[in-house]
Amino acid sequence: MVKYVIDASSLIELEVRYPIDIPIFQPIYHKLNQMFECGELFSVREAFEELKDSQSYWDDYEEYFRELTDKESGNVAELLNSEEFSVFISHGMNENDGYWADPHLIACAMADSDITVVSEESSRNHPQRSMPFVCEQLGVRCIKVLQFLDEINIR
């Protein structure tokens, strides 16, 4: 089964581009809710923390923002200790908040090849700082929200 791990920026982007209170967009949220419930879509606790000061829709889905497995935690440690991704790591660290979801999302996909990362980050400016760049270097599939909506057959 293909699974998707989604970052906070993608969830925020969904709410901004496709407001749930507009009826034509409600099928998007219905599909996302179904995917969360059956385990095809999830995120990590760090992404939930990133959402706390922004949108409120995802508050009801806290249970779908999970802790990492031991294997995934090992992958995070590997990423954070990698010289190859030092620019990515130093760019993403936030001393005030103490959380940063990107390496955790990537770690999930590193642990399970059936997981695709969904991120709205761009790799145009400073590509080494972006999640898509790191995913590409690691052979992890990373897609944008519109491609994700297409893949899950939102019409």
Structure-token pair, residue 138: 């690691």
* Residues 20-78: tens digit of each pLDDT: 899 999 999 999 999 999 999 999 999 998 887 666 678 888 899 999 999 999 998 89
Q: Check: CB of residue 72 under 8 Å from CB of residue 107.
A: yes
pTM: 0.89
Q: What is the CATH number of domain 3-151?
A: 3.40.50
Q: What is the pLDDT of residue 28?
A: 95
Which of 38, 45, 48 lies closest to 11, judged by CA? 48
Length of the chain: 155
**For residue 139, what is the DSSP state?**
T
DSSP SS3 for 93? coil
**For residue 67, what is the DSSP state?**
P
* Residues 100-144: tens digit of each pLDDT: 888 999 999 999 999 999 988 766 666 667 888 889 999 999 999
Kindly tell me if the per-residue pLDDT of 85 is higher than 90.
Answer: no
Which of 80, 93, 116 lies closest to 1, judged by CA? 116
Structure-token pair, residue 103: 């390496």
Each domain of the chain, given as residue ranges in start order, spans 3-151
